[in-house]
Structure 1
Amino acid sequence: MTLFQFGQTRPEFAVPVLNERAVRASAGILFVVALITFMHAFLLGNFQPTRVFVVAFVIELAVRLFVNPQLAPVYMLGQWVVRHQQPEWVGAPQKRFAWGIGLALGLSMFWLLVVQQVIGPVNMLVCGLCLVFMFFESAFGICIGCKVYNLFNKEQAQLCPGGVCETNPAPRERLPAGTRAVQALVLLGFAVAVLGGARWVSHNAMPTPAMWHHTPASNSAPAADPAQATDPAEVERCKVPEFAKAIGHEAMWKLHNGCPP
């Protein structure tokens, strides 16, 4: 294996190629970790996992682009996961362009969140965009960055997943007559079942964390002075951190820590 190389050169293909199965597996791994860190920031106001992920994401894509994808840690992990599967070779040039977009987004997040420690809607927008790119890649095999590649390159992408960019693509799957009508009925039944389940759940709500720690006073008992009834240790425990206040997650922090609103 050559140290500095992007894609594999194979005699049956006119352009360097990558194994699409490994690409999708590594995108799925990145997506899961990114989603977990994103939800930590969005729901709990804890941006530390996101900052660590951004550093790892930038290193991963930098190694893929400037050294060799097969030496990038997450890509290697994806290769190992799909090692027993038949490779699906796709063109490397459009993947390089797409990963370049990802690296640009990662560097912007690195500057804003890691270096400047800026917290705001721009971070959420960039994170959300990265999540969409990785989800479409891993779940559907659709490389959004590869679509953009064709807009800026005279030589169009070759060897796309599923043959979608070929001059004579393979024939699409033809469903038996009446299948779409049956599928539509199934989707309708599924939607009705979910809505019915949602109504049942709303009428049988589980107790919130605040209810677990704070039992309502009896209707017959006189109302106590909150200042006297509250334990000082509990007051200290439920003191909202500054980072939660800064991002407007004060109520959410209290909910997740079982504190009264």
Structure 2
Amino acid sequence: MNHIIKFGEDVKGFNISVLNEREIRAAAGIMFLATFISWIQILFEGNFVPIKYVLTIFLSDFSIRLFISPKFSPILIIGRLIVSNQNPEYVGAKQKVFAWYIGLILSATMFVLMAIFNTYSYITGTVCLLCLILMFFETAFGICLGCKVYKLFYKERAQYCPGEVCELNEKHEIQKVSKNQIFVFFTFVSIVFIAGILFNEKLNERPRDLFQKHIKSKVTQP
């Protein structure tokens, strides 16, 4: 039974339980996409049905991860299948359990307010946006914001962080940003800003159907 109910896995060469960061990022990407699509449904169609299903799935998944084992999380299993041909990137399990408790609290709050009480408010909107930010940082940048909060509550330093950010290593030359790169970046932003001002009226024109004119001309021919 202890082999089933366990957070993290024992891997040779690591002195603590670890998880595969690649499948975690894949799972975060799946969750982000599902939440974002549901959010769009609410904003543009006023349809709250998808988000209720998504919240039920997320709450169940986080509960399985934390109270049984991440190995049996359905979304992590999908993530594992997607990245199964990639070499694993091992990360410490301790900071992940802390981050996933944050996810559990957020999804439980949303589930109670939206699925059980059938309500929406600035609270659900803010929590939903926070969830999107957390998942986006995880999947796009490999940055676990919840893991960073872990450092504020626990004095012991986290081990095996994604990208080895826990280690105090000097940046490689390819990671450094030069003054020329900063200049190019701000120049690019300035050009985009100026172009937005100059062409704002043109960009605000409603687009026309590419084929509509062609169809009408064919119909009106004698």
Displacement of 1:15: 1.8
Amino acid of the residue matched to residue 185 of structure 1? T
Equivalent residue, structure 1, for 2:133: 132
Structure 1 spans left out of the alignment, 5+ residues? 208-261
The whole-number CA distance in structure 2 between the counterparts of 1:147 and 1:115 is: 32
The whole-number CA distance in structure 1 between the counterparts of 2:69 and 2:200 is: 49
The whole-number CA distance in structure 2 between the counterparts of 1:198 and 1:18 is: 48
Amino acid of the residue matched to residue 115 of structure 1? I
Would you say the 8 A contact 1:97–1:149 is kept in 2? yes
Residues 48 and 161 of structure 1: CA distance in aligned 2, closer, same or farther (over 3 Å): same
Equivalent residue, structure 2, for 1:161: 162
The whole-number CA distance in structure 2 between the counterparts of 1:179 and 1:68 is: 45
The whole-number CA distance in structure 2 between the counterparts of 1:117 and 1:177 is: 52
Which structure: larger Rg?
A: 1
Amino acid of the residue matched to residue 30 of structure 1? M
The whole-number CA distance in structure 2 between the counterparts of 1:3 and 1:48 is: 34
Residues 176 and 132 of structure 1: CA distance in aligned 2, closer, same or farther (over 3 Å): closer
Would you say the 8 A contact 1:61–1:99 is kept in 2? yes
Superimposed CA distance per residue, residues 83-103 of structure 1 (whole angstroms, 9 cap, x where no aligned partner)? 111211111110010001100
Aligned: 1:86 with 2:91: no
Displacement of 1:45: 1.4
Deviates more, 1:98-107 or 1:5-14: 5-14
Question: Identity over aligned residues, as a percent?
Answer: 38
Which secondary structure state, in structure 2, belongs to the residue aligned with residue 18 of structure 1? Answer: strand
Residues 163 and 74 of structure 1: CA distance in aligned 2, closer, same or farther (over 3 Å): same
Would you say the 8 A contact 1:27–1:134 is kept in 2? yes
Amino acid of the residue matched to residue 92 of structure 1? A
Superimposed CA distance per residue, residues 186-234 of structure 1 (whole angstroms, 9 cap, x where no aligned partner)? 44444445555644221x3237xxxxxxxxxxxxxxxxxxxxxxxxxxx
Q: Give the CA RMSD over aligned residues.
A: 2.2
The whole-number CA distance in structure 2 between the counterparts of 1:205 and 1:97 is: 48
Amino acid of the residue matched to residue 97 of structure 1? F
TM-score, length-scaled by structure 1:
0.72
Superimposed CA distance per residue, residues 19-51 of structure 1 (whole angstroms, 9 cap, x where no aligned partner)? 111111110110000011112122221111111
Equivalent residue, structure 2, for 1:181: 183
Dislocated runs of 4+, deviation >4 Å: 190-198
Which secondary structure state, in structure 2, belongs to the residue aligned with residue 178 of structure 1? Answer: helix
Residues 89 and 200 of structure 1: CA distance in aligned 2, closer, same or farther (over 3 Å): same
Equivalent residue, structure 1, for 2:111: 110
Displacement of 1:184: 3.5
Aligned residues: 206
Would you say the 8 A contact 1:19–1:89 is kept in 2? yes
Would you say the 8 A contact 1:163–1:170 is kept in 2? no
Residues 33 and 198 of structure 1: CA distance in aligned 2, closer, same or farther (over 3 Å): farther
The whole-number CA distance in structure 2 between the counterparts of 1:17 and 1:2 is: 14
The whole-number CA distance in structure 2 between the counterparts of 1:108 and 1:156 is: 30
Equivalent residue, structure 2, for 1:201: 203
Would you say the 8 A contact 1:136–1:143 is kept in 2? yes
TM-score, length-scaled by structure 2:
0.84
Residues 201 and 56 of structure 1: CA distance in aligned 2, closer, same or farther (over 3 Å): same
Would you say the 8 A contact 1:141–1:161 is kept in 2? yes
The whole-number CA distance in structure 1 between the counterparts of 2:180 and 2:207 is: 42
Residues 87 and 194 of structure 1: CA distance in aligned 2, closer, same or farther (over 3 Å): farther
